[in-house]
Amino acid sequence: MTTNTTVLDSGAALRPSPPQARRRRHPAATSAGRFVLGAGTVVLALAFWEVLSRTGALPPDAIPPASAVLAEFAAQLFLPAFWASLWATLSVALLGLVLIIVIATPLALLIGLVKPFAESTWFLVEFLKPIPPVALIPLGLLLWGPSPGMKLFLIVLGALWPLLTQLVYGVKEVNGVATDMARSYRLGWWLTTSRLVAPSILPFALTGLRISAAIAIIVAVVTEMIGGATGLGQGIVVAQSAGALTQMYALILAAGLLGLGLNAAFRAAEKPLLFWHPSMREEASR
Amino acid sequence: MTTTRAAARAVTQTATRATTRPHPLRLLALRTWLPVVLIVWWWLASAGSRSLYFPPLSTILETLQHDWLGPGLTANLLPSLGKFLAGFLIAAACGIVFGLLIGMSRTLAAAVEPIVQFLRSLPPPVLLPIGILVFGIGAPMNIAIIAFGAVWPTLLNTIDGVRSLDSQVRDMSRSYRLTLGQRVRYIVVPNAGPQIFAGLRTTLQISIILIVVSEMVASVNGIGYYLLNSQQTFAVPQTWAGTLLLGALGYVANLLFLRIESRVLRWHSGMRAASGKDA
């Protein structure tokens, strides 16, 4: 079973020739095997969707066949309007993330290091954190109308908290035995910052930023859907009300790929930045 | 011997913590002064307000009481809460069950990985148009959107939690010849517990987002409907009142969840305290 191959994987280089080594390798053990399995399932799922839609098992006026959606998606890739709306969504989300970093970093330092500040803002932060960001959309629409500024405001207010929380954890993580040791070794400001503070905070910062990015995209798309600011969300709603089903599905596919791309970008950034972290070591030995 | 050392460490920790911790009354004062000041400031600054967009706080609170403590409670609040709970519970159950299945089979995990990653990355609100087409407008659609959109954090965290099982524990459970049921019940689920709950918390937050959005787009009652409707009719105090209510609901839901989590995972926090990891 799975246990066999895991042991085998990590220990194969160390142990000369255990009896299990002669057994056939598990299909999911190699990255090529995993790729084939994954790609196979995707193709299978698409084929299944195609058949269900063509035969009418799924309502064809609600779910068009997969081939039509994929063809429409390919056609969209050549339309400047598609790229414009994609950029409208992505640019505001990225700008929001930059603002979030600028706001969250000093706040996290204050909360993590200055005790009275942390206690004074405790209630406020704990109250604002769980408020669903979409609750503020009507208020934002009322005050500013469907503008990029409104979108930006809602993104910052909704996606600030994951990064802030993670950064505070990170700052607190630094404040411990390691700081005492750095002090007794007289490491100095630069060495302490570069060797201790930054590496301790970085994993938390990246985790927080990844969650914040996901929420930023969600808030951006929702404000576009409901508020009518330009972007992917608006495109989806417009396509739906115009009855252009394949276009609607193609845009939804694009929204998913956008999220996937953003996630992959963060993973790619994590690898060189956090190669020393236990979570990465585990991943590498897998 | 290690236990006594750990216990000693725990004692010294609580001792130092007790000395650094301020007096409870002082702590209370420290924590409450800012919110109190803000509310008083809001109240005073908006008291004589004639602005269309910033009505007096007293008017907002009156609207809140009038709209939500009377018939509004059964007409809008209860349906929303019911749909939210149903969707959340379905998402949680599906996430845990499928997460356990996928986490325990490497073949299955490799096979569904691309699809799960895609669906996880999809901003859930974009599913709304599909939901409307398939289910029409009404409660089943709201519930389906929550269940399908919010299941992913729990699913992925459960998979990770199952996979994180220490290989020694896994080997031991094999040499003790635990049956599959015993392994799941006593080893896999407790080991994944903390991570499952971390996923459930995200699922909860997404569920709240989705119930609001789905009611805004496709519903004839509920908080989201009320909120968007009052915005579109320029009923400003109502918009503010609905926003405040939603904030309060999000806060309470989170609080309840944390209570349940600390209850279910009591053994885990006890273990962390004993091993000094939570210092």
What average pLDDT does this structure show over B16-36?
69
Q: What is the phi-psi region of residue B116: left when phi exceeds 0, alpha when psi lies from -120 to 50, beta otherwise?
A: alpha
Chain A residues touching residue B240 (CB < 8 angstroms):
139
Q: Find, in chain A, the residue whose alpha carbon is nearest to that of B112.
A: A38
The answer, yes or no, to whether residue B251 has pLDDT greater than 70, is: yes
Give the largest Cα separation in chain A, rounded.
Answer: 75
The answer to whether residues B27 and B113 belong to one domain is no
Question: Which residue matches tokens 């209370």?
Answer: B28
The count of structural domains within chain B is 2
Is ipTM strictly over 0.90? Answer: no
The answer to whether residues B95 and B8 belong to one domain is no
Q: For residue B17, is it within any domain?
A: yes
The answer, yes or no, to whether residue A20 has pLDDT greater than 70, is: no
Please give the Cα distance from A155 to B123 (Å, whole number): 14
Contacts across the A-B interface (CB distance below 8 Å): 186
The answer to whether residues B100 and B5 belong to one domain is no
The answer to whether residues B150 and B255 belong to one domain is yes
pLDDT of residue A2: 40
Q: Find, in chain A, the residue whose alpha carbon is nearest to that of B121.
A: A259
Q: For residue B45, is it within any domain?
A: no
Chain A residues touching residue B254 (CB < 8 angstroms):
129-130
pLDDT of residue B206: 84
Cβ partners under 8 Å of residue A231, min gap 6: A85, A86, A88, A89, A92, A151, A220, A221, A224
The answer to whether residues B16 and B131 belong to one domain is no
CATH number assigned to the domain comprising residue B123:
1.10.3720.10
The answer to whether residues B112 and B177 belong to one domain is yes
The answer to whether residues B254 and B125 belong to one domain is yes
| Tokens found for residue B276 | 């000094």
The answer to whether residues B23 and B85 belong to one domain is no
Q: For residue B183, is it within any domain?
A: yes
Q: For residue B50, is it within any domain?
A: no
Please give the Cα distance from A266 to A240 (Å, whole number): 32
Query: Which candidate from A38, A132, A262 shows the least CB-CB separation from B246?
Result: A132
The answer, yes or no, to whether residue A265 has pLDDT greater than 80, is: yes
pLDDT of residue A99: 92
What average pLDDT does this structure show over B205-231?
81
The answer to whether residues B229 and B172 belong to one domain is yes
pLDDT in tens, A127-185: 777 777 777 888 787 777 777 788 888 888 888 888 888 888 888 777 677 777 777 88
Least Cα separation, residue B60 to chain A (angstroms): 13
Q: DSSP alpha helices (H): ranges in A17-147?
A: 31-55, 66-76, 80-113, 115-128, 137-144
The answer, yes or no, to whether residue A271 has pLDDT greater than 70, is: yes
The answer to whether residues B172 and B90 belong to one domain is yes
pLDDT of residue B18: 45
Helix or strand or coil: residue B166?
Answer: coil
Q: In the 8-state DSSP scheme, what is residue A46?
A: H
The answer to whether residues B2 and B112 belong to one domain is no
Q: For residue B225, is it within any domain?
A: yes
Q: In the 8-state DSSP scheme, what is residue B279?
A: -
**Which residues constitute the domain of residue B150?**
67-275
Alpha carbon B32 to its chain's center: 25
The answer to whether residues B205 and B77 belong to one domain is yes
| Tokens found for residue A220 | 């951006």
Q: For residue B51, is it within any domain?
A: no
The answer, yes or no, to whether residue B166 has pLDDT greater than 80, is: no
Please give the Cα distance from A19 to A82 (Å, whole number): 57
Contact A38 B114 (CB under 8 A): yes
What average pLDDT does this structure show over A236-256?
84
Q: For residue B43, is it within any domain?
A: no
Helix or strand or coil: residue A104?
Answer: helix
Chain A residues touching residue B251 (CB < 8 angstroms):
126-127, 130-131
